[in-house]
Amino acid sequence: MSDSIQTIQVCTSPAYTVSIGPGLLRICGQRLRDVLGTCHVAVITDSTVAPLYLGVVTGSLQTAGFAVSSYVFPTGEARKNFDTLSGILEFLAEERLTRTDCVVALGGGVTGDMAGFAAAVYLRGIRCVQLPTTLLSAVDSSVGGKTAIDLKAGKNLAGAFLQPAAVLCDTDCLRSLPPDVFADGAAEAIKTGVLSDEGLFSLFEDGTLTAAPGEVIARCVAYKAGVVERDEKEQNERRLLNLGHTVGHAIEKCSGYAIPHGHAVAAGLAVIARSAEKLGWTESPIADRIAACLAKNGLPTGTEYPAEVLAHAASADKKRTGGDITLVIPRRMGACTLKKMPVSELLPVIAAGLEG
Ligand code: GLY
């Protein structure tokens, strides 16, 4: 089985390995013992993932000699808040985890963000392992050490950087994903193709993503690993990974987080591509190709929210510095650029990208 497991090194501080392949949850205990030594691990997961995978994960960890506690919170982006974070932190304290122990995030992006944030602040920081079970967390959020919760003012506004001690991505989990949850991850993967590589982008046009998701995840992770190694704390190049996210986060916020992250990012990507083309910022037309690819993967290519509402919501985005905001602009397939502009100029940019 290990022949089919691919590994990617992420050379940050600390450095860690992302393993991608089938059957990893069943053998997570032995894999993690090599990385962590035996210690007390707290598995944090949500009410959707717990019935599917919590048993196999705790069983594997216990067999490998770990002391295991587990905490389950209700599923959903609306739970990515201080109340849930506080519940996790109180649990870690009640279970008496110490500085040599470890949090294990089992689930999608919400779980990875919140469990990672809890690990980053509990006892001023303990180790965290990411076990992504969705395509979105596999291709993006489990790698790179961003952790956060949402505030009333906007998404991911309180958080910390904590690189994981390891990431184990079991591709068997993707089989249990409902189509719209799979599509959510496809949005972040398509974003990676637009950013990095026309060849990768074409895999979302020809159906390779569904046929061989492990290959696609490995290519997305390898690209992200390079970016994160060069700019761990998002001072410069890493900001490119926010392609589609300024409008995407605004859409999520306007919907009260009813529109899932990937769907909102897809719409945000389509909007910024259309707007970049209309405003003459692209070298060749790409907006129609991006929209067709998003639609083929079950994703939206626009939004019902008016430009004024989106621009207002985006003005609280954390990508703002003083009175400016930095947008990620696609120039051609596989190449994007950062464009800083006054927040006051956001409205016409968003308006240019809306359909109709
Ligand atoms: N999801 C974007 C990043 O990790 O920087």
162 alpha-carbon distance from chain centroid = 14
> Quick one: CA dihedral 24, 130, 48, 245, positive or negative?
negative
CA of 356 to the centre of ligand 1 (A): 31
Both tokens assigned to 180: 């719209």
- Which residues make beta-bridge pairs with 168? 19
pLDDT in tens, 279-305: 999 998 899 999 999 999 999 999 999
Q: Nearest Cα to 329, choosing from 288, 260, 264, 278?
A: 278
The catalytic site residues sit at 124, 146, 188, 224, 234, 238, 242, 245, 249, 261
pLDDT at residue 1 in the model: 43
- Report CA-CA distances (Å) from 130 to 79, 138, 140: 19, 9, 12
pLDDT in tens, 307-352: 999 999 998 776 677 889 999 999 999 999 999 999 999 999 999 9
Lowest mean pLDDT among 14-23, 25-34, 41-50, 153-162: 153-162
Residue nearest to atom 5 of ligand 1 (CA): 241
pLDDT in tens, 83-116: 999 999 999 999 999 999 999 999 999 999 999 9
Provide the residue type at 250 as one letter.
A
Rounded (10°) angle between helices 346-353 and 245-254: 90
Whose tokens are 């990385």? That residue is 35
Looking at ligand 1, which atom is closest to the CA of residue 141? 1
Out of 234, 240, 317, mutate this one to test ligand 1's pocket (max ligand atoms within 8 Å of CB): namely 234
Domains of the chain: 2-176 (3.40.50.1970), 179-354 (1.20.1090.10)
Q: How confident is the model at residue 47 (pLDDT cuts 50, 70, 90)?
A: very high
Looking at ligand 1, which atom is closest to the CA of residue 234? 5
- Beta carbons of 188 and 139 less than 8 angstroms apart: yes
Q: How large a percentage of the chain has pLDDT more than 90?
A: 89
- Beta carbons of 172 and 21 less than 8 angstroms apart: no
CA of 234 to the centre of ligand 1 (A): 8
